[in-house]
Structure 1
Amino acid sequence: MNSKDTPQAFVEIAGGNASYRGPGADTADALIVTTGEDPRAFVLRRTAWEARRLRKPIELVTAGDYGKHRILVTADGTVTPSVIGDDIDAFVEPTLELVQPPSTSPRRVPARLAAGMSGTGRPSFIADATTTPTGFPATLARLGIPVKPSAARAQHLEDVRATSRHWGGCRVVAVVNGKGGVGKTMTSAMLAAVFARNGGGGVLAWDNNDTRGTLGWRTESSHHDATIQDALAAAPELLAPASAAADIAWYVHHQTGDRYDVLRSNPQLLAASQRVGQVEFDQLLQVAARYYRLVIFDPGNDESAPRWLRMIDSAHQLVVPTLAAPESAESAALLLEALTDRDETSAQLARDAVVIVTQAEHGSSTEVRRIVEVFTELVRAVQVIPFDPALKSGPLRFETLRPATRRAWVAAGAAIAGGLQ
């Protein structure tokens, strides 16, 4: 609710035209927008000017093409929601992201980096390119309105940076939960998209499932119908010294928008027809490590299968997805306990795991909080993914997600990246 001491401005944008009524004005003015300029930039520039004139923040009340919002604009161009829970991304899209989704995983920024220090401890004269404004903030900066990133925006930029990193050697992430229907395939695809889009490719999502793996059903097909069996048969040639980087494209399915590749199982075959033992698994992993910097496994539910156990033995990071429901969470907790009892390596993986809690439906946050509280004591990090209808069924595409959901997946990726050092 607007404080009586906070002046208000009102804007309606329709079809690229904007009418604007400033603080204290009785009538609205038609804003003349420069050709090619985003009317939202014009409106925020005008509102920041009004805030400087009045020497106090202004609440901008919006209507029209970009929805109804109440946005607090300060004299220096800082833009934040005026109403708790108002997702203002629809107005400030495409790049200014201010509302942070719920997360319980503390992500630490090294003090020297946070302070902008050089290796000797003094302030550096060289600006970090990752802090340069981009997109909408850059537009405002060019218009003479410096925009301070909010704490949520600064954290998001740090998360993007973490998921853009390349490590020496291939890293392996295993997405595990012994219960079906808890979001393993969705989690594998979204994490692959985060790391590939931010890091520039080199990411493989591997359907490590003996029985009806559905990763291929929810991702794009390439110009062929190759599966893991075809890749296994070609492994000697793919590992030969004369093989070329592009040769792997005959056996994986590239995701054009999200930039990662998929190694499919064959959902039309029975498990007995596509068993992969430890020797075959190791050979395929050699192939993956030669052509990719990051492999994300989407496994089946059979925790006794040789390929499942070998996956755990090969993993650098464990990711445990669960829905915000008691049965899913219990299955995740039981798996962590079983791994803790298996051997010391598995126990360490369990302790350092990242749990991802997905809200499959709109509803009370009480169950989410309870699940988060329990897992926070068991694992290294917990990340909540808000409800998003684009995740429920059909093709998995990062760009179809809501802005808050995209930010949550990037935050989850950053938490995972912390275990891939």
Structure 2
Amino acid sequence: MAPVSTLWLSAKVTLVDRTGTRVRADSMEVATAKIAGYSHQSAPLLALAEAHASGPGFTPGAWRLVEGHLAPAPEDGVPDYWLEYSDFHLAGADGRRLSPVTVDDLPRIGQSMATRSGQQITIDTHLPGVRTHRYVPATAPATADIEATASSGEAPGTDSVAGTVGLDAPAVAGLHPPASAAEAFATRTQSRRDALSPAHTGWRGALNSVLGLRLAPGAGEQRTRALNATVQKGLPGHRTAVVVNIKGGASKTTATYLLAATLGRVRGGMVLAWDNNENAGNLGDRAIPAAHSHTALDLLEHIEDFTTPEQADKLAGYIRPQGENKFHVLASQNEAGTKEVIDATAFRRMHAALRQFYQLAIVDTGNASTAPTWQAAVDVADVLVVAISNKEDAARRAFTTIDALRAEGYGEKLANGVAIITQPRTASTQRLAEIQNSLTGLVRSVVVVPYDRTLDDGGEIIWEALAPRTRQAYLQATAAVVEGM
């Protein structure tokens, strides 16, 4: 029998109670600890969220939390909590995190690793309702023990992977030939050894370059590669992220610019940073200048000229290319109060036109949640980004913004959002912790950006002048945004 190697699947957990309140936890252990800390008349009942219930890789079920442990229970009551999972990761048997994944990726990853390593691969998990997967090398007999069972405390089942989870042909390569051999090869999953090619950065990279060695990348470089892969993942059509905080000076514009720059440098393709301020915004002031001073208002006057992708060349007179950052800026009106602002209808017309030319848009917003153009931007957003400076007034306004979003019915969209906390020169560590704690359950991901003096003067943002840790923080933030798309 082939030797066995085990990988562990973990995820972040969102608890949704009967009132719709959402509480985020970094693991199932943390989630159960939170539940145990609440007051209940009886052992609380948990069930798999409807979003997962019919998905491959999941088995609907119910569980009782008794003395800190989950036990299978009949599905005949109203759950106290529904379980939602996100940010899945694989880790080795030693607990070392390997890579972010999706549940849909597991069959392809497991079968590829089994075939390449010649070992049986088990992908196990402690997440209730998430299946355990076992794969043997593709050269093994068709009668090999390949199982997919629910992680529910019950004995493993004996159904085949293809029959139980509805896997496609490449997941059981060697048992059923793929429809297209060329496509199967082009879309194959690289083994971990291939993914962890020799180090290119740090002292390991230097030794590899100078001495011709093949030292593996360190943990930092592995993390960067995983974040890059997330930023580069395929997306089903145009996606828009909208950056909000009704407080001026909360780093909205900086976040907009650097999210777009990270997308342009790491992902490539057509990326737009759009200043949708209801008055005069300053994204154009922070960007590389263009040979013209046209703004969104000028584009609006000629928006009828942009009805098909073939007219992309005409955009050159309105957008501002950002050089090596490989994205475009659309500036807001530059004469506050002297021209009619762009209303909701105009914003939607422009958005509908521009999405033909750009795969991704990062929209900066103004300081009035009541402005029609602000509301229209939030409405079209696929991901909301809450920009927060670690200052008392900016933080208070950020949570006022969050309250306004929830009051307008955007609580679910906000729960898929990202908060970017920017550290000022003198930052309160206590307030930072309070901000982070207060964001728990409100947004999906929180990223802290360290203080960077090169961003202090409000002038043109120069990527090459940024501190490496600032770039890394925005890489993490950009990956979190793309993950939500």
TM-score, normalised to structure 1, is: 0.69
Report the residue type matching 1:246 in the other structure: D
Query: Following TM superposition, by how much is the alpha carbon of 1:114 offset from its aligned partner in structure 2, in angstroms?
Result: 9.2
Distance in 2 of aligned mates of 1:213 and 1:289: 21
- 2:235 aligns with 167
1:401 equivalent in structure 2: 466
Alignment of 1:117-266 (within 5 A): 117-119=109-111, 122-124=114-116, 126-127=190-191, 131-133=196-198, 135-136=200-201, 137-141=204-208, 143-240=211-308, 243-266=310-333
Native 8 Å contact 1:177 1:321 kept in 2: yes
The Cα shift of 1:278 comes to 2.3
CA distance in 1, matches of 2:226, 2:113: 21
Find out whether 1:376 has 2:440 as its counterpart: yes
Aligned partner letter, 2:482: A
Task: Read off the aligned partner of 2:476 and give its amino acid letter.
Answer: A
Match 2:360 to one of 276, 289, 294: 294
Q: Distance in 1 between matches of 2:427 and 2:351?
A: 41
Distance 2:419 2:427 in 1: 20
The Cα offsets for residues 329-368 of structure 1, whole Å up to 9 and x where unpaired, read as 121112112211212xx11112222111100114442322
1:127 to 1:367, Cα distance in 2 relative to 1, 3 A: same
The separation in 1 between residues aligned to 2:369 and 2:243, in whole angstroms, is 12
Amino acid at match of 1:392: D
Measure, in 2, the Cα distance between the counterparts of 1:338 and 1:278. Answer: 18
Task: For 1:199 and 1:205, locate their aligned partners in 2 and report how far apart those are by CA, in whole Å.
Answer: 15
Partner in structure 1 of residue 187 of structure 2: none
The residue that corresponds to 1:279 in the other structure is 345
- Over 3 Å counting, the alpha-carbon distance change for 1:202 and 1:107 in structure 2 is farther
The CA distance in 2 between the partners of 1:161 and 1:274, in whole Å, is 42
Q: Does the alignment pair 1:348 with 2:339?
A: no
| Contact 2:198-2:214 at 8 Å conserved across structures | no
Return the alpha-carbon distance in structure 2 between the equivalents of residues 399 and 123 of structure 1: 43
Question: In the comparison of the two structures, how many residue pairs are matched?
Answer: 312
Secondary structure at the counterpart of residue 333 of structure 1: helix
- 1:419 equivalent to 2:471? Answer no
Query: Could you say if the C-alpha distance between residues 201 and 399 of structure 1 is closer, same or farther in structure 2, counting changes exceeding 3 Å?
Result: farther
- Following the alignment from structure 2 to structure 1, what is the Cα–Cα distance between the partners of residues 106 and 456? 38
Aligned to 1:306: 372
| Residues 241-261 of structure 1, C-alpha deviations (whole Å, 9 max, x = no match) | 7x3332222210000021110
Residues 215-243 of structure 1, C-alpha deviations (whole Å, 9 max, x = no match): 001111122221112211221112147x3
Say if 1:106 and 1:381, in contact at 8 Å, map to a contact too: no
Q: Distance in 1 between matches of 2:407 and 2:428?
A: 34
TM-score by length of 2: 0.60
Task: Give, in angstroms, the shift of residue 127 of structure 1.
Answer: 4.6
The amino acid across from 2:470 in the alignment is T
Amino acid at match of 1:254: P
Q: Unaligned stretches of 5+ in structure 2?
A: 1-85, 90-99, 118-189
Secondary structure of residue in 1 paired with 2:314: helix
Query: Contact 1:177–1:184 at 8 Å: present in 2 too?
Result: yes
Q: From the two aligned structures, give the one with the greater strand fraction.
A: 2
Selected match of 1:324 from 361, 386, 390: 390
Q: Which residue of 2 aligns with 1:23?
A: none
Instruction: Give the RMSD, CA atoms, in angstroms.
Output: 2.5
Give, in angstroms, the shift of residue 121 of structure 1: 6.2
